[in-house]
Amino acid sequence: MACRAVRRVHRELPGDEYTRVLEGSITLTGDDGVAHTFGPGDSFTLTKGWRGEYRVTEPLVKQFAIYVP
């Protein structure tokens, strides 16, 4: 999936999301204020109920899977 610069605020994820960044950059900031930036080759998992800001800082290409039990 590819997307341009965007900022989204997640109220609460409905399930777990695994993401691997292929191109670009993304910064995730949880409601606790802790920010993590990911780039090509990085991967991360957001667990069900995660809340925070999802900011695409460079055009992003990613692979992802969402598990909703």
CA 22 to CA 63: how far, in whole Å?
A: 7
State whether the Cα torsion 31-33-38-43 is positive or negative: negative
The CATH code of the domain that includes 49 is 2.60.120.10
Q: What is the pLDDT along the chain (69 residues), one digit of tens a residue?
A: 555 656 666 677 789 999 999 999 999 999 899 999 999 999 999 999 888 988 998 989 999 999 988
- Burial profile 29-39: b = 16 or more Cβ within 10 angstroms, e = fewer: eeeeeeeeebe
Domain count, the chain: 1
- Give residue 19's domain range: 2-67
Check: CB of residue 60 under 8 Å from CB of residue 24.
yes
Give the pTM.
Answer: 0.81
